[in-house]
């Protein structure tokens, strides 16, 4: 079956369109600090507005444990969305209650409302299908059709992602369609050389991706905290650096499989080693195969790839035709340990082909380091959903859309 698109819904003027977005953005002091996911939702919102739909935006934000919590209110998101749209956006202070009904009933053609956080109801994320169906039924009363466009949640069987889409005529928005097009290019017939860059803290978070992509890629670059499990698997000392001892045999298996397949696994040759996990910790650059004590003499902690490695990674990335990057190269939140991540990001902007920032911490990192989304071929909003797709898993939120 083919993915159902908005065109399949027919005439939308005057109809109430429930639009499931992923507006799970960071907030500080009641302000949105990274509006990337809001911006990513605008093309679908604008398309619906231009068709005269009455747009009812729903989303989750954070993990409020199934009850109202002002720290996770979508009110600041609605305010930022209004600024970006250049038009008023109504905000409803509940999700399926009287405020939501009043907000929806007050919409005219081409207007937009945002309802309060879906996860203020425990039924949104309930493991019980009946609970989810009941909540989806109450949501469905607020609309005539559903457009699902929150790619970051399509790997979750949740009420607004799964049961709601089954309750009304439904289709995928342009964000989901764009994400799937990019992911299809990464898995089916990528242009070569094809390089995957993996970072982040844990190998265990990337096991499925490595297993699924090893037969498809030309080289795999490994950074972040996960690199130390690879180094340890090769017999090197890693000081007090992050280690997943239970994954050593798995990593050795990947190294052997890569060699058999002719896939180049590129590990760091130098590492930035700090005295402690702290922004101002004294640090030195050391050879990756000979990590010693930290500057003060105790076991050191690797917090970034070294400059020699960063330059090598940049060279390999910039010379590739297809690159997928997921996971920072170091503790980018600390300026002293952000250089590796910044170098990789800069190299990705120079890819003559498709360069993909794989959502989650990678997307947060490039924005925090001053890069703009449009500098890259694609910045995914997916995070976990992108990784599960690349693992070859079936995603329930896509299956109900015909994918």
Of these residues, 208, 377, 384, 402, which one is catalytic?
384
Q: Is 4 annotated as a binding residue?
A: no
The CATH classification number of 6-177 equals: 3.40.50.1260
Given pLDDT bands bounded at 50, 70 and 90, which one contains residue 301? very high
Who has greater pLDDT, 201 or 120? 120
pLDDT of 11 above 70: yes
pLDDT in tens, 143-181: 999 999 999 999 999 999 999 999 999 999 999 999 999
Q: Is 361 annotated as a binding residue?
A: yes
Q: Is 312 annotated as a binding residue?
A: no
Is residue 37 annotated as a catalytic residue, yes or no? yes
Note the pTM of the prediction, 2 decimals.
Answer: 0.88
- Cβ neighbours of residue 83 closer than 8 Å, sequence gap 6 or more: none
Q: Is 212 annotated as a binding residue?
A: no
Contact status, residue 154 vs residue 395, Cβ threshold 8 Å: yes
pLDDT in tens, 19-34: 999 999 999 999 999 9
Q: Is 302 annotated as a binding residue?
A: yes
pLDDT at residue number 295: 55
- HSE-up of residue 40 (Cα within 13 Å, Cβ side): 29
Q: Is 275 annotated as a binding residue?
A: no
DSSP string, 248-302: HHHHHHHHHHHHHHT-EEE--SEEEEESSSSTT--EEEEEGGG--B-TTSSB-EE
pLDDT at residue number 358: 87
Is residue 384 annotated as a catalytic residue, yes or no? yes
Contact status, residue 221 vs residue 196, Cβ threshold 8 Å: yes
List b or e across 303-320, with b for residues whose CB sees 16 or more CB atoms inside 10 angstroms. Answer: bbbbeebbebbbebbbeb
The class level of CATH for 189-390 reads alpha beta
| Torsion angle (degrees, nearest 10) of CA 388, 393, 397, 399 | 150
Is residue 252 annotated as a catalytic residue, yes or no? no
pLDDT of 282 above 60: yes
Is residue 185 annotated as a catalytic residue, yes or no? no
pLDDT of 238 above 60: yes
The predicted model gives 330-351 an average pLDDT of 96
| Torsion angle (degrees, nearest 10) of CA 160, 166, 172, 175 | 20
Q: Is 37 annotated as a binding residue?
A: yes
Of these residues, 4, 15, 20, 37, which one is catalytic?
37
pLDDT in tens, 57-68: 999 999 999 999
Of these residues, 173, 224, 294, 360, which one is catalytic?
360
Closest CA to 65 of 143, 134, 119: 119
Given pLDDT bands bounded at 50, 70 and 90, which one contains residue 193? very high
pLDDT of 392 above 90: no
pLDDT in tens, 351-369: 999 999 987 788 889 999 9
pLDDT in tens, 90-129: 999 999 999 999 999 999 999 999 999 999 999 999 999 9
Of these residues, 39, 75, 101, 202, which one is catalytic?
202
Return phi, psi of residue 54, to 5°: -100, 105
- Please state the domain extents for the chain: 6-177, 189-390
Domains 6-177 and 189-390 belong to one CATH topology: yes
């Amino acid at each position: 079956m083919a993915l159902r698109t908005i065109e399949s819904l027919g005439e939308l003027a005057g109809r109430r369109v429930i639009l499931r977005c992923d507006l799970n953005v960071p907030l500080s002091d009641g302000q949105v600090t990274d509006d990337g996911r809001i911006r990513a939702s605008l093309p679908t919102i604008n398309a619906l507005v231009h068709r005269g739909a009455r747009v009812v935006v729903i989303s989750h934000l954070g993990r409020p444990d199934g009850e109202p919590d002002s720290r996770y209110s979508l009110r600041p998101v609605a305010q930022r969305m209004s600024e970006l749209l250049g038009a008023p956006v109504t905000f409803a202070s509940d999700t399926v209650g009287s405020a939501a009904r009043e907000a929806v009933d007050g919409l005219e053609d081409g207007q937009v409302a945002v309802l309060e956080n879906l996860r203020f109801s425990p039924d949104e994320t309930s493991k019980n299908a009946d609970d989810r169906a009941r909540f989806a039924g109450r949501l469905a009363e607020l609309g005539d059709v559903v457009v699902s466009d929150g790619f970051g949640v399509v790997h979750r069987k949740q009420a607004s992602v799964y049961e709601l889409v089954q309750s009304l005529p439904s289709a995928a928005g342009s964000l989901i369609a764009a994400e799937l097009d990019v992911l299809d290019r990464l898995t089916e017939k990528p242009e070569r050389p094809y390089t995957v860059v993996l970072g982040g803290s844990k190998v265990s978070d990337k096991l499925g991706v490595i297993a699924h992509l090893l037969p498809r890629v030309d080289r795999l670059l490994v950074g972040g905290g996960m690199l130390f499990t690879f180094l340890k698997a090769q017999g090197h000392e890693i000081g007090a650096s992050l280690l997943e001892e239970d994954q050593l045999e798995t990593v050795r298996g990947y190294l052997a499989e890569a060699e058999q397949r002719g896939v180049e696994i590129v590990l760091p040759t130098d590492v930035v080693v700090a005295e402690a996990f702290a922004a101002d910790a004294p640090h030195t650059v050391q050879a990756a195969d000979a990590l010693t004590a930290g500057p003060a003499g105790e076991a050191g902690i690797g917090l970034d790839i070294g400059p020699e490695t960063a330059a090598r990674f940049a060279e390999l990335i910039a010379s590739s035709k297809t690159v997928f990057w997921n996971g920072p190269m170091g503790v980018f939140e600390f300026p002293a340990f952000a250089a590796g991540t910044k170098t990789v990001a800069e190299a990705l902007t120079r890819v003559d082909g498709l360069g993909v920032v794989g959502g989650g911490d990678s997307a947060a990192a490039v924005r925090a380091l001053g890069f703009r989304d449009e500098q890259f071929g694609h910045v995914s909003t997916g995070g976990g959903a992108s990784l599960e797709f690349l693992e070859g898993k079936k995603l329930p939120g896509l299956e109900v859309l015909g994918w």
